[in-house]
């Protein structure tokens, strides 16, 4: 798998992230592009998990706010799509809103 593909696969699912991580660890030439997008993808997955828990709590307390959970799901999807586009352009740019929080936080 080449570097661009590993960077894109990291955003697809958590299993895709694991596959990209293992491919990155196995490669002899460590790419900064893959390392950067592994960190960004992991950050997006963590933010998505927190947002999902938050929406479940809101939905349990006030069931009539069901639309909030859909909006939160859409936010997560948009962040993942923005990450995929950035990775496909082979650019090391943080994902809007949450990407700057995770720059340099993970050591791969």
Digit-coded pLDDT (tens) for 51-70: 889 888 888 998 888 887 88
What DSSP string describes 61-101? H-GGGHHHHHHHHHHHHHHHHHHHHHHHTT---PPTTTGGG
Does residue 107 have a pLDDT over 90? no
> Half-sphere exposure of 75 toward its Cβ, with a 13 Å CA cutoff?
17
Q: What is the pTM of this model?
A: 0.86
Which pLDDT score is estimated for 106? Answer: 82
Residue 58, pLDDT score: 86
For 67-99, how does the pLDDT look when each residue is reduced to its tens digit (9 = 90+)? 878 888 899 999 999 999 999 999 999 999 888
């Amino acid at each position: 798998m080449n570097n661009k593909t590993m960077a894109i696969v990291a955003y697809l699912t958590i299993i895709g992230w694991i596959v990209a991580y293992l491919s990155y660890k196995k490669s002899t030439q460590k790419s900064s592009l893959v390392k950067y997008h592994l960190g960004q993808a992991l950050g997006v997955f963590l933010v998505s998990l927190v947002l999902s828990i938050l929406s479940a709590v809101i939905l349990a307390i006030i069931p009539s706010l069901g639309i909030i959970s859909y909006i939160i799901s859409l936010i997560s999807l948009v962040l993942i799509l923005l990450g995929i586009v950035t990775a496909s352009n082979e650019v090391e740019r943080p994902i809007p809103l949450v990407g700057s929080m995770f720059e340099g936080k993970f050591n791969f």
